[in-house]
Amino acid sequence: MEVETEDKPPGSPLIRDFDIGNYLANYNFFLKYEGVNPTGTQKDRISKKHVENAIEKGYETISVATCGNYGASIAYYARAMGIKAVVGIPSEYSNSRYAEIAAYGAEVIEKPLKYEEMVEHIRDQADRNGWYDASPGSQNKDIDIAGYSEIAYEIYDQLGFAPDYVSVPVGNGTTMYGIYYGFLKLMRSGRSDKIPSFIGASTAGGNPVVYSFMNGFRRIVELDQNSIVETHSNEPLIAYRSYDGQRALDALYKTNGKASYVSDEEMVNMSRGFREIDHLSVLPASASAAVTALKYAADNICVIVLTGSDK
């Protein structure tokens, strides 16, 4: 399988739902569609920066633990910029994008570990072998916030103002906090007069950010790893430990936000609707953000951050 890569900068359009198939039937909803990025997700925003940083610091290998999308993105940019990628994937994950990652030339490590355990395994291997660690929670994690903050800048420039709400799917909480941080910088610089309220969407199978918020906890609570239920649809969201969970939880409280669980059935149905009516390929886990937007922001201007389905 031969895969071409191109050094296309990440970035995405803001689509008014009313202007396409109008599946959500809401004039005030805007879709920040990350599916146009080279590997189809918002991960491209941080992967490119991590690979550039690794090269600048003299690393020959970049490593990452993934449930699929992030690994494909790191492998893509590593190949494009000429360094080696090592990608760790839990062997039981069904949505791993394994073939694509391998086609980009990455070394794939599969082990019967949960995602969080794979993150720690790759972190240990990076330390032992002198690899650059791009996994969540690494010493290079500030790059993640810088990359995702660009989504806020784009939303502001595309709309011309800050929306009332931004709805984001939540796994580790990094994307949500990064967007929040971007709007915070816009307000501090005097460009924006407000920060949107944030809506967090995650899986009913278990997520610390949404669990903690729904129970009124101000400090993030790590879940019992035996209580979470992984499925094909919820793999990008399921977690017993969210690496940027506290910062995402703080963002929810600071913006008077909302958060709730979404069932697999709701995710899949929403994804199917986007495909059949709006002709957008949306990952079911990402479609959870549209489910919660309808629940909490139906009468307000809301931007929904959507990840593309697997390419």
Question: 211-226: per-residue pLDDT in tens?
Answer: 999 999 999 999 999 8
For 260, half-sphere exposure in the C-beta direction (CA atoms, 13 angstrom radius) is 15
- Whether residue 297 is found in the same domain as residue 197: yes
- Whether residue 163 is found in the same domain as residue 201: yes
| E strand map for the chain | 14-16, 29-33, 61-65, 84-90, 107-111, 132-133, 165-169, 197-203, 258-262, 302-306
**Higher model confidence: residue 97 or residue 55?**
55
Question: Of 98, 133, 168, which residue is a domain's last?
Answer: 133
Contact status, residue 262 vs residue 291, Cβ threshold 8 Å: yes
- Whether residue 21 is found in the same domain as residue 96: no
pLDDT at 94 exceeding the cut of 80: no
Residue 23 lies in a domain: yes
- Whether residue 58 is found in the same domain as residue 163: no
Region 261-282: mean pLDDT is 92
**Shortest CA distance to 242 belongs to which of 292, 184, 146, 168?**
168
pLDDT at 117 exceeding the cut of 50: yes
The reported pTM is: 0.93
pLDDT at 1 exceeding the cut of 50: no
Q: What is the pLDDT of residue 6?
A: 53
Q: Are strands 302-306 and 165-169 parallel, antiparallel or unpaired?
A: parallel
Single-letter code of the amino acid located at 102: A
Residue 3 lies in a domain: no
Residue 52 lies in a domain: yes
Helix, strand, coil proportions of the chain in percent (round to 5)? 40, 15, 40
Position 310 confidence tier, pLDDT thresholds 50, 70, 90: low
Position 3 confidence tier, pLDDT thresholds 50, 70, 90: very low
Q: Which of 17-26, 67-76, 81-90, 140-149 has the lowest average pLDDT?
A: 17-26
Number of domains in the chain: 2
